[in-house]
Structures are given as C-alpha cells and as structure tokens.
A = this chain, B = another copy of it.
C-alpha cells in the first residue's frame, strides 16, 4: 500500500516529479469537471498521457489520490485499515475515536485549513466525493442491512461527524469546543452506532 507523505517524495529526480505533478493536475481538472464518482483512474491516466499503473504508483488508491488533490494531510487507507479490523458493532465508537483525535493533534491546523478551503472555494463536491469514496470502499458494504442501505447508514453517521467537526473546529461553539474530546466521542458513539447498525426510519420505513 502506497503511503502518502511529503518525505516519500524527497529525492525523486526532477523529471519524475514533473510526471507526478502532471497526473495531479489532470486529476484535479477531471474531479472538478466531472466529479470524483465519474472520474476513473484510467481517465486521469489518459488525460496525463501515462499508464494507469503509474497513477497508482504515485498516489495509491482513488481515495488517496482525492486526499492528495484537496490536500487532506491524512492517509485514508490507514484509517480504513483500522476500521476494516474493527467489528461492526464497535464502529460507532471506533470512527470518532480514530478521527477526532487527529483534529486535536498537530495535524488539526492543516485539517482546518483544508476544510475551510473546501468550504470557501468550489471544492465542496470533491470533498463530498472523498467522503463517498471512503464510505463506499471502507464501511458501507459491511453495514448493508437491509441490502442497499449501507451508504445511507454511513452517510447519516457522516452527518454527525461533520456536525461535530464544524461546531468544534470551524464555528468553535462555546462551551462545546472545550468539552474533553473523550466525552464528545462517548456522547456521539451511540448515535453513530444506531445509524450504522440500528433500526432507523430512513432505512426501515
């Protein structure tokens, strides 16, 4: 699995770096024009004039490529690897316990800047595409009960996560933003678990 961080790119010959940049530009152009869902790795490779294998070589999975395209400083595959190893009945706690501490860490400022840029510019659809890619490939198939409901279940969980992130790190609601993060995780975990595996009106009615 390709790891995305800035260290890995150091020391590459200039010519290779140009190719990488060209692929990234092509990806950004196509994501913006056609949306992430309708843009394949193959189409990005064709646009950049390279072999699809080279896209994967530089950027890993599609989720990783989207993360790089909109400057999300977290490798989605690392998050997904942990979630795939988590029993579905524990996901409600595992998801916020994995993601919210990242926002409280040294990466927090970078994450806030990325989210603010996505909100201020025209990148909302690419950000939504990122969420969709992570949800589709990592969570939805495991909670697809009844069949076909997995995406909606995961998206309801995403609304609660998104709301906490917005309230705490963008709007900085007080006193909410000062509640210890462990208490926030414990408080929203049952909500996420119900959306992921419980009886919810959006699925059962």
Which among A167, A187, A195 has the greatest number of chain B C-beta atoms within 10 A? A187
B160 to A186, Cβ gap below 8 A?
A: no
A163 CA to B184 CA, complexed, in Å: 15
The answer, yes or no, to whether A79 is at the interface (CB within 8 Å) is: no
If the complex has contacts A119-B119, A170-B119, are A200 and B175 also in contact, measured as CB distance less than 8 A?
A: no
Contact of A120 among B119, B171, B194 (CB under 8 A): B119
Q: How many copies does the complex hold?
A: 2
The answer, yes or no, to whether A40 is at the interface (CB within 8 Å) is: no
Chain B residues lying within 8 Å of A2, measured Cβ to Cβ, are none
If the complex has contacts A152-B179, A201-B187, A202-B183, are A159 and B163 also in contact, measured as CB distance less than 8 A?
A: yes
Interface size on A, residues (CB 8 A): 44
Chain B residues lying within 8 Å of A176, measured Cβ to Cβ, are 152, 155-156, 158-159
Give the B-binding residues of A (Cβ under 8 A). Answer: 116, 119-120, 124-125, 127-128, 131-132, 151-152, 155-156, 158-164, 166-168, 170-176, 179, 183-184, 186-188, 190-191, 194-195, 200-202, 205
